[in-house]
Amino acid sequence: MPTESEARQAAVAAGRKLQAILDQHIELLESSHDEDDAAVEVDRELWERVAEYGDLLDDLYGEEEDDDEPEESDELTFTVRTRYDYTVVDEKAFLSAGTGVGAAVVALLERAGGKPLSALEVDSLETGSGLLTVHLNGEPLEASDFADADEPTDLLLIDPSEQLQHVLDEPVYGSRAEAEAAAKDRR
């Protein structure tokens, strides 16, 4: 545990780093070069420095986050799970949409606007992160399967015999810079 003097020196040093990166950020903004690759990196570093400075101020003033208590939200949050089973009747035509089953499904989603459930895009809902997985499996799921099942919710789980072919992740980011940094990481 650092002494108060060491904690204060660390906070001052982090504040100066924050000030320097903030100056770079402002210069890029003034020069209208705030959307190129270098600007995205400066923006990412700016937010890292803000977090570092905040953490060190918390250390200096003894404010610790209580990770034991989960934050309670006043917002109603729910998850919509959907499953569609498909049988390929023309494999050549289907696979010509991409390279493999996963890529073919992604190509089909892109043609549909990228949103398999656009009906849930309503004014009273804020869309959260999304995840779509594509699996090869032996038999389709039917509504009657739920009536016959001991644990109907188990039918929504992925069977160990299914083969994962593709994952499409649609996370929600806190800022444009986070989204752009994540897109770079995916390349």
Query: For 162-179, what is the mean pLDDT?
Result: 74
More confident residue, 173 or 46: 46
Query: Does the structure show a pLDDT above 70 at 115?
Result: no
What three-state secondary structure class fits 47? helix
The CB density around residue 53, as the number of other CB atoms within 10 Å, is 20
More confident residue, 72 or 46: 46
Average pLDDT of span 6-13: 91
Residue in 103, 100, 105, 111 with CA at minimum distance from that of residue 86: 105
Instruction: Count other C-beta atoms under 10 Å from residue 38's C-beta.
Output: 12
In which band, very low, low, confident or very high, does the pLDDT at 17 lie, cut at 50, 70 and 90?
very high
For residue 52, is pLDDT > 70?
yes
Q: Exposed e or buried b for every residue in 151-163, given b needs 16+ CB within 10 A?
A: eeeeeeeeeeeee
Residue type, 95: L
Is 86 exposed, middle or buried, given 0-12, 13-18 or 19+ CB atoms closer than 10 A?
A: exposed
Residue 9 is predicted with a pLDDT of: 92
> pLDDT > 90: what percent of the chain?
9
Q: Are 186 and 178 in contact (CB under 8 A)?
A: no
